Chain A
Amino acid sequence: GAGVSQSPSNKVTEKGKDVELRCDPISGHTALYWYRQSLGQGLEFLIYFQGNSAPDKSGLPSDRFSAERTGGSVSTLTIQRTQQEDSAVYLCASSPQGLGAETQYFGPGTRLLVL
């Protein structure tokens, strides 16, 4: 079936604007993850969903960041009042059950540039 998809692929916004990033996981995968990757850096964990619940939001950098998941499927990451330091690639991944040692399947990412 189809892999993980993300939209938009690129987003340029002005400082202070809000942005919404979308993730469509692999159908049937209950676990969904958001990561952030800055230039030359490793992936930074942001949030984990199990179904529609987010038991781990520990990686969200500030209260400007929020995420939701509906219908156990699509997830939206929202960044309010964007800052230049929010510029990065935002990656979404899904896995079948969120159990240990599962492969995480990544989307292509959304490249966010805050001017």
Chain B
Amino acid sequence: SQKIEQNSEALNIQEGKTATLTCNYTNYSPAYLQWYRQDPGRGPVFLLLIRENEKEKRKERLKVTFDTTLKQSLFHITASQPADSATYLCALPGSNDYKLSFGAGTTVTVRA
């Protein structure tokens, strides 16, 4: 099974700056990778999916990269806002495509 590591449990940044989160995996490279956002007391909410043949994906102020050589995905929040404060989870499929393995998450706090 995949071992997934997300950088530092917490990231504190100033409003307007870019937050960069890392997701590293150890075994086989998956066909895709997903990022979810989780607010306290809520279930995760899907943000972005990037496929193995895509280097970069963008959605509004979010950008995801996927480097299968480094076995790493980077998640960027540009022009961060206090409303971006949440925990961000990366998720990868296992040998069974439907079954996602999740990282422990990185909690981002954006200071006004």
Contacts and interface: CB of A to CB of B under 8 A. Distances in A.
B9 A40 contact: yes
Nearest to A97: B98
Contacts of A100: 31-32, 93, 97-98
A56 B51 contact: no
Contacts of B32: 100-101
Nearest to B32: A101
A53 interface: no
A101 B45 contact: no
B61 interface: no
Interface in B23-43: 31-32, 34, 41-43
Nearest to B107: A40
B43 A31 contact: no
Contacts of A65: none
Contact of B96 (A43, A56, A91): A56
A42 B98 contact: no
A42 B31 contact: no
B99 A43 contact: no
Given A103-B46, A105-B46, A108-B41, A43 B31 contact: no
Contacts of A95: 98
Contact of B46 (A31, A41, A104, A108): A104
A41 B104 contact: yes
Interface of B: 4, 9, 31-32, 34, 41-46, 49, 51, 89, 91, 93, 96-105
Q: Rank and list the top 8 A-B pairs by shortest CB-CB distance, nearest first.
A: A106-B43, A100-B97, A43-B102, A42-B104, A103-B46, A42-B102, A98-B98, A101-B32
27 contacts: A31-B98, A40-B9, A40-B104, A42-B103, A42-B104, A42-B105, A48-B98, A48-B99, A56-B96, A56-B99, A91-B43, A91-B44, A93-B43, A95-B98, A99-B98, A100-B32, A100-B93, A100-B98, A101-B34, A101-B51, A101-B93, A103-B34, A103-B46, A103-B49, A104-B46, A109-B41, A109-B42
